[in-house]
């Protein structure tokens, strides 16, 4: 469902998330109230057809697709490209309340320095790429768990009866073979970093009683430099097809 463009513009000017009520012909999820939180992998950066440009919230992102297909009682799209854990705590979780029944969230990549890691691996040597990944790995092991615990506790406090689906990150690159945009060693190192990040996120989600939706199997065979990529080599984010065929089925299975 699309909101009138003028109303969307007003909401963006006020810095508000977009909340969409269900249509009159609500489906089997008519009682659900979905709130989408987190970073660009939930907002839909790279998926096009944006309902705004400031947060790159895409109508092709998996939460919007889920809401369109299932017609919940309400859908609040608060995820924002570039968001970190403090951003979610300070700007996004205010949209949760006792009526929230379902939460989708991806977070942690920007806290670990996703953008600078990718820049280093694209522009520097193998050693430079691995050094930046090692720095990120130290943060992911030592600091990220506590920050996730605090965030997940805040989410549970504000939405005590919600089913919370924590969506992980896919592998970005295929390993082996030729990939003009990234050498083989760098691709393997980046994917190893994804494994560590996903492991920590999954562990803390389980400790909080949340459900982890692993995106790696969903995107298998559709990474950058495969014959049918669902991740854009230019934006390093899932495409509209990636959200529809990768993230949406993973989220739907975890949310059921």
Three-state DSSP state, 1: coil
Taking alpha carbons only, the member of 255, 227, 246 closest to residue 44 is: 246
Given 33, 106, 237, 243, which residue is catalytic? 237
**Is residue 120 among the annotated active site residues?**
no
Taking alpha carbons only, the member of 171, 251, 164 closest to residue 213 is: 251
With the CA atoms of 52, 100, 250 and 223 taken in that order, what torsion angle do they form, in degrees rounded to the nearest 10? 30
User: What tokens were used for 174?
Assistant: 């295929």
**Is residue 237 among the annotated active site residues?**
yes
Neighbours of 18 (CB within 10 A): 19
How far, in Å, are 16, 42, 132, 181, 184 from residue 250 at the CA level? 27, 13, 30, 28, 28
C-alpha to C-alpha distance for 220 and 170, rounded to whole angstroms: 8
Three-state DSSP state, 180: coil
Given 40, 43, 106, 232, which residue is catalytic? 40
User: What tokens were used for 170?
Assistant: 């896919």
Alpha-helical (H) ranges within the chain are 5-13, 40-43, 62-70, 85-87, 114-123, 126-142, 144-158, 184-207, 215-219, 240-242, 248-255
Longest C-alpha distance within the chain, in Å? 57
Known catalytic residues are 40, 237
């Amino acid at each position: 469902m699309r909101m009138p463009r003028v109303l969307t513009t007003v909401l963006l000017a006020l810095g508000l998330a977009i909340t969409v009520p269900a249509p009159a012909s609500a489906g089997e999820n008519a009682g659900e109230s979905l709130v989408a939180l987190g970073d660009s992998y939930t907002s839909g950066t790279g998926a096009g057809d944006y309902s705004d440009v400031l947060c790159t919230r895409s109508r092709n992102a998996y939460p919007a697709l889920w809401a369109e297909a299932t017609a919940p009682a309400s859908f609040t799209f608060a995820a924002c490209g570039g968001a970190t854990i403090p951003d979610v705590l300070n700007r996004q979780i205010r949209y949760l309340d006792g009526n929230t029944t379902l939460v989708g969230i991806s977070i942690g990549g920007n806290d670990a320095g996703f953008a600078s890691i990718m820049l280093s691996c694209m522009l520097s040597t193998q050693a430079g790429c691995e050094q930046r990944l090692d720095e990120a790995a130290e943060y992911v092991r030592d600091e990220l768990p506590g920050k996730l615990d605090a965030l997940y506790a805040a989410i549970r406090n504000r939405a005590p009866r919600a089913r919370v689906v924590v969506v992980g990150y896919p592998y970005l690159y295929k390993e082996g073979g030729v990939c003009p945009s990234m050498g083989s060693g760098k691709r393997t190192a980046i994917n190893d970093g994804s494994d560590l990040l996903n492991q920590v996120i999954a562990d803390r989600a389980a400790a909080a009683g949340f459900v982890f939706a692993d995106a790696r199997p969903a995107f298998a065979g559709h990474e950058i430099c495969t014959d049918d990529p669902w991740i854009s080599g230019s934006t390093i984010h899932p495409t509209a097809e990636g959200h529809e065929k990768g993230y949406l089925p993973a989220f739907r299975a975890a949310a059921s």
